[in-house]
Amino acid sequence: MSVLQRLQQLGIVLPEPISPLGSYKTLSVAGNQLHVSGLGPFENGQPMVGIVGDDMTVEQGQHAARLTLLMILACIEHAYGLDNLQRCIRLTVYVRATQSFTQHPAVANGASDLLQALFGADQLPARSALGVYSLPMGIPVEIDSIFELKPAGHDAVKRS
Amino acid sequence: MSVLQRLQQLGIVLPEPISPLGSYKTLSVAGNQLHVSGLGPFENGQPMVGIVGDDMTVEQGQHAARLTLLMILACIEHAYGLDNLQRCIRLTVYVRATQSFTQHPAVANGASDLLQALFGADQLPARSALGVYSLPMGIPVEIDSIFELKPAGHDAVKRS
Amino acid sequence: MSVLQRLQQLGIVLPEPISPLGSYKTLSVAGNQLHVSGLGPFENGQPMVGIVGDDMTVEQGQHAARLTLLMILACIEHAYGLDNLQRCIRLTVYVRATQSFTQHPAVANGASDLLQALFGADQLPARSALGVYSLPMGIPVEIDSIFELKPAGHDAVKRS
DSSP state string for C55-67: TB-HHHHHHHHHH
The reported pLDDT for the residue numbered A156 is: 44
* pLDDT-based confidence at residue C156 (cuts at 50, 70, 90): very low
Residue C118 lies in a domain: yes
Whether A126 sits inside 8 A of C31 (CB atoms) is no
CA distance C114 to chain A (A): 22
Distance, in angstroms, between A116 CA and closest chain C CA?
7
Using pLDDT thresholds of 50, 70 and 90, give the confidence band for residue B160: very low
Residue B95 has pLDDT above 50, yes or no: yes
Structure confidence at residue C155 (pLDDT): 54
- CA atoms of A29 and A104, how far apart (whole Å): 29
Is the Cβ–Cβ distance between B3 and B120 less than 8 Å? no
Mean pLDDT of B78-106: 97
Mean pLDDT of chain B: 94
pLDDT attached to residue B1: 84
How many contacts, defined by CB atoms under 8 Å, are there between B and C? 91
Is A160 within a domain?
no
The whole-angstrom distance between residue A97's C-alpha and the CA centroid of its chain comes to: 18
First to last CA, chain B: 16
Give the 3-state DSSP-derived string for C104-115, with helices as H, strands as E and coil as C.
HHHHHHHHHHHH
Whether the pLDDT of residue B158 is over 80: the answer is no
Phi/psi at C66 (5° precision):
-65, -45
Task: Establish if B124 belongs to a structural domain.
Answer: yes
Is beta strand C33-39 parallel, antiparallel or unpaired with respect to C27-30? antiparallel
Average pLDDT over residues C35-44: 97
Which positions in chain C touch A33 (Cβ < 8 Å)? 30
Q: What is the four-CA torsion angle of B127, B131, B136, B139, rounded to 10 degrees?
A: 90
In this complex, the chains that touch A, judged by 3 or more CB pairs closer than 8 A, are: B, C
C52-102: pLDDT as tens digits = 999 999 999 999 999 999 999 999 999 999 999 999 999 999 999 999 999
Q: Do B127 and A37 touch (CB under 8 A)?
A: yes
Q: Please list the residues that pair with A52 across neighbouring strands.
A: A56, A97
A57 in a domain, yes or no?
A: yes
b vs e for A32-55, b when ≥16 Cβ sit within 10 Å of the residue's Cβ? ebbbbbbbbbbeeeebbbbbbbee
Structural domain range at position B77:
3-7+26-152
Cβ-in-10-Å burial (0-12, 13-18, 19+) of B99 comes to middle
Classify each residue of B117-139 as buried b or exposed e, where b means 16 or more C-beta atoms within 10 Å of its C-beta.
ebbeeebbbbbbbbbbbbbbbbb
Is A108 contained in some domain? yes
In this predicted structure, what is the pLDDT of residue B8?
Answer: 96
Report if pTM > 0.90.
yes
Report if residue A14 sits inside a domain: yes
C129 Cβ neighbours under 8 A, 6+ residues apart: B38, B136, C92, C93, C95, C104, C105, C107, C108
Chain C neighbours (≥3 Cβ pairs under 8 A) are A, B
C148 occurs within a structural domain: yes
Residue A155 has a pLDDT of 55
Computed over every residue of chain C, the mean pLDDT equals 94
Chain B residue numbers with beta carbons less than 8 Å from the beta carbon of C115 are: 23
Which residues on chain C place their C-beta less than 8 Å from a C-beta of chain A? Answer: 20-28, 30-31, 35-38, 94, 132-138, 142, 144
Asked whether the beta carbons of residue A108 and residue C24 sit closer than 8 angstroms, the reply is yes
Contact list, A105 vs chain C (CB under 8 Å): 21-22, 136
The domain that holds A138 is classified in CATH as 3.30.1330.40
Return the residue of B nearest to C133 by Cα. Answer: B133
List chain A residues with pLDDT less than 50.
156-160
Would the CB atoms of A134 and B130 count as touching at under 8 Å? yes
Q: Is residue A11 part of a domain?
A: yes
- Give Cβ neighbours of residue B60 (< 8 Å, ≥ 6 apart): B50, B52, B140
CA distance B4 to A149: 33
Question: Chain C residues contacting B, CB < 8 Å?
Answer: 31-33, 89-92, 95, 97-106, 108-109, 112-113, 115-116, 121, 124-133, 146, 148
Closest residue by Cα to residue A40 from A65, A62, A77: A65
Query: Nearest-CA residue of chain A relative to C131?
Result: A132
Number of separate domains in chain C: 1
Phi, psi of C134 (to 5 degrees): -155, 155
Which residue among B102, B121, B126 sits closest to A136, beta carbon to beta carbon? B102
> With contact defined as beta carbons under 8 Å apart, do B99 and B145 qualify?
no
- Measured at the alpha carbon of residue C133, what is the angle toward residues C128 and C136, in degrees to the nearest 5? 90
User: Does pLDDT of B155 surpass 80?
Assistant: no
Helix (H, G, I), strand (E, B) or coil at A104: helix
Contact B137 C113 (CB under 8 A): no
What is the per-residue pLDDT for A160?
31
